[in-house]
Amino acid sequence: MSEAKNRPETQKIHHGVLIPCNIHEVQRETEEGESETVYRYEEIQLSQRNLPNNKRLRRAIANRLNQHLREYLYSRYDQGTQSTIQGFALKADRLGRSDIVDECEKILDWIAGVLDYYDTAKQSILSGSGDPQAVQWDFEADVPPQNLRGWREIKAMFDS
């Protein structure tokens, strides 16, 4: 993330436009012990000469949010692993193994929570009201995984 002492603004550059998004106002202490406000943000670069219209701006920020969703979710449970966990849940249910079903449901509930968080942020960005650049997200802080097992651990539970 980039950092600035003033709230970042969209700006024209030589080969396009830089759009700040996911802007977080942060209070921190200086070396002199004083409090200061800084802004941490990401930048999206669009290769176009003119500033983007509202629709394109919103779409660019929503695409960045989607990129973060994929990085966050798939780094823990990619699509193949999610399918495997769903399969384990079905198999465990057939076998009457509620302990395994419970572990699978924890993961699937967490994934649903991540997707809900994503959808709420996406709707805030794409809705016609409000500043899309002011929409903040932080998957790690706001929807952290808690005590979730990996697929190998769940698979091993069938042998116990």
Q: Which residue has the higher pLDDT, 46 or 106?
A: 106
Q: Are 136 and 61 in contact (CB under 8 A)?
A: no
Distance CA 107, CA 135 (A): 27
CA distance linking residue 110 with residue 2, whole number of Å: 29
Provide, rounded to the nearest whole percent, the portion of the chain with pLDDT above 70: 100
| Average confidence score pLDDT of the chain | 93
Q: Provide mean pLDDT across the span 85-107.
A: 97
The pLDDT value recorded for residue 14 is 84
C-alpha to C-alpha distance for 137 and 139, rounded to whole angstroms: 6
Q: How far apart are CA 17 and CA 117, in angstroms?
A: 28
Q: What is d(CA 97, CA 37) in angstroms, rounded to the nearest whole number?
A: 53
